[in-house]
């Protein structure tokens, strides 16, 4: 496992306070899932949640993020620069309303997911296991064509009878940290053997909209 922390660590963020989390985004995400209107991707899902939570227009979205419909790569660029967010660097500080954005690579377009609750440490840890690390299950809401796992303990709501249907839903992702809780890499699901991605392979940022709402 790479020992480098997620890129956001370099910003030296102030300690996060879960009471200040932008819970409206989490609530809006769950409302979107209850709505039968499909949302195409994780980034579009986050954009729709902002519009629903704050009454934003496409003009507002463009003012904040530089596009009327940002993709995950554009959200990652903004989050990584600290635009309109507080960086969350410690798993113990993760709370509902935070947003997890995975950057694009040469073979991957990135992803955006909205956190719906606190991170819970896994005990025992699941494979792959690395020395001097902790693992965390993080509840999320997103829109995706790839299941986050159809297991019973950490289910994906889009899995029914073992069959996954693409679209919006709730699920869990797994984060890795060092023993102090400082975030490292991640895996797409909380299932044994799920592929681990180091920050060098697929960088990600967890951000908290600051202020809430940003405009």
Low-confidence winner among 16-30, 122-136, 176-190 (lowest mean pLDDT): 16-30
Q: Residues 173-192: what's their mean pLDDT? A: 98
Q: Which residue has the tokens 């719906």?
A: 116
Given this model, what pLDDT does residue 18 score? 67
Average pLDDT over residues 3-7: 37
* Mean pLDDT value across residues 194-211: 97
Q: In the predicted model, what is the mean pLDDT of the chain?
A: 92
Rounded (10°) angle between helices 72-80 and 42-54: 70
**Residue given tokens 């629903």 in the structure block:** 52
Helix H or strand E segment including 86: strand 85-87
| pLDDT score at 16 | 52
Tell me what percent of the residues of the chain surpass a pLDDT of 90: 87
Give the model's pLDDT for residue 19.
63
CA 137 to CA 148: how far, in whole Å? 12
Average pLDDT over residues 79-98: 98
Confidence at residue 35, expressed as pLDDT on a 0 to 100 scale: 87
């Amino acid at each position: 496992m790479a020992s480098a922390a997620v890129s956001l660590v370099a910003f030296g963020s102030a300690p996060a306070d879960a009471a200040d989390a932008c819970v409206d985004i989490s609530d809006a995400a769950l409302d979107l899932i209850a709505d039968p209107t499909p949302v195409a991707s994780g980034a579009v899902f986050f954009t729709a949640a902002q519009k629903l939570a704050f009454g934003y227009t496409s003009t507002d979205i463009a003012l904040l993020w530089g596009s009327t419909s940002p993709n995950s790569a554009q959200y990652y660029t903004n989050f990584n620069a600290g635009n309109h967010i507080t960086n969350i660097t410690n798993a113990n500080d993760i709370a509902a309303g935070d947003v997890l954005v995975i950057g694009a690579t040469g073979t991957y377009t990135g992803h955006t997911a909205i956190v719906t609750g606190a991170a819970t440490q896994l005990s025992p840890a699941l494979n792959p296991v690395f020395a001097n690390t902790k693992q965390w299950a993080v509840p999320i809401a997103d829109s995706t064509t790839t299941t986050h796992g159809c297991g019973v303990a950490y289910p994906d709501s889009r899995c029914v009878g073992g069959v996954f249907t693409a679209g919006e839903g709730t699920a869990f992702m797994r984060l890795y940290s060092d023993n102090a809780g400082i975030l490292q890499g991640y895996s797409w699901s909380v299932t044994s053997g799920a592929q681990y991605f180091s920050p060098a392979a697929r960088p990600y940022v967890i951000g908290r909209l600051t202020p809430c709402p940003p405009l």
